[in-house]
Amino acid sequence: MTLVDLQKRFDEKIEAEVKIEPKDWMPDGYRKTLIRQISQHAHSEVVGMLPEGNWITRAPSLRRKAALLAKVQDEGGHGLYLYAAAETLGVSREELIDELLCGKAKYSSIFNYPALSWADIGAIGWLVDGAAIMNQVMLQRTSYGPYSRAMIRICKEESFHQRQGYEILLTLCRGSDEQKAMAQDSLNRWWWPSLMMFGPHDSESTHSEQSMSWKIKRKSNDELRQAFVDATVPQARYLGLTIPDPDLKWNESTGHWEFGEIDWEEFWQVVKGNGICNRQRLKDRIRAHEEGAWVREAAMAHAEKQRHRRDVA
């Protein structure tokens, strides 16, 4: 088959909503875009374990501790599904992890903010997982088979994450004045960074147009951000909390909440590595990787032994 035929076949599959699978021919740019996005997503999951992991030993009850522990473990699992999906594109997990640890690879800006109070664990579940779900529901329909299947599993677990966060805040908001103030303070700090998770405006987004034509992304950054605001404002009202945006107002004619401008300077600074916790997060990941070396070695030795046994048998 000529390159023209291969491209035609690929385009027809995308048009007909047939998933692209690892052994199928795909344009170089499609492969590169997927490796970039899926690996950034995997890195976000494992770096995302850090702000919450800090609170496992300080959870206020056994029930809260068990739920948080399960959530953080889920995130490690999501990282694994996603690294495995990226590996089907011909890149190794070691290469991807090296890129993260040397500071070259990106991961979601949101994880460079600190979790300062127990209410932040609620806000992360409600807002950060809430924003992640908004983005990931559409990724279940992404055109690359292994990514789409990983996202279906991930989305099921994310709904539980979002609820555990909202329930923490609901409990605080129905508690003492101090507890409610703690919840409000945490909304104040996490609201804008959560909106930044969706990435730059569509007009500034480098990859959106191409990714949408390949059906890797099914909705644009701004569309998803708007859907998130529309879904979250009523939830904040139910909690009795105020969203820290003086420009927030309901537009009767569009049926959407209008909101103020994001501080893009802050967003790009965080993406470039100058956020409050960027350096700490990388340091912690490097330490965890080094301390886990013996586990990797033991697992490899075990796999080698099994292979040897099979060969001998």
Per CB under 6 A, residues contacting ligand BYC are 36-37, 40-41, 44-45, 48, 75, 106, 108-109, 128-129, 132, 135, 196-200, 205-208, 211, 217, 221, 271
Residue nearest to ligand BYC (CB): 48
Q: With contact defined as beta carbons under 8 Å apart, do 130 and 227 qualify?
A: no
Least distance to ligand BYC from the beta carbon of 253, Å?
28
CA dist 224 and 198 (Å) reads: 7
Minimum gap (Å) between residue 3 Cβ and ligand BYC: 26
Q: Shortest approach of ligand BYC to residue 30 CB, angstroms?
A: 13
> What's the CA gap between 75 and 81, in Å, rounded?
10
Name the minimum Å distance from CB 125 to ligand BYC: 8
CB of 168 to ligand BYC, least distance (A): 14
Which residue, 37 or 184, has its beta carbon nearer to ligand BYC?
A: 37
CB of 221 to ligand BYC, least distance (A): 5
Is residue 120 within 8 A of residue 186, CB to CB? The reply is: yes
**Judged by CB, which is closer to ligand BYC: 6, or 88?**
88
Measured from the CB atom, the residue of 164 and 221 that comes closer to ligand BYC is 221
Q: Which is nearer to ligand BYC, 106 or 215 (CB)?
A: 106
Give whichever of 161 and 180 is closer to ligand BYC, judged by the CB atom. 161
Of 209, 234, 231, whose CA–CA distance to 219 is shortest? Answer: 209
Alpha-helix runs per DSSP H in 174-274:
177-196, 208-213, 221-239, 264-269
Residue closer to ligand BYC, measured from CB, 12 or 209: 209
Rounded to the nearest angstrom, the gap between the alpha carbon of residue 241 and the centroid of all alpha carbons in its chain is: 25
3-state helix, strand, coil in the chain (%, to 5): 70, 5, 25
Instruction: Give the residue from 193, 65, 186 showing the smallest Cα distance to 119.
Output: 186
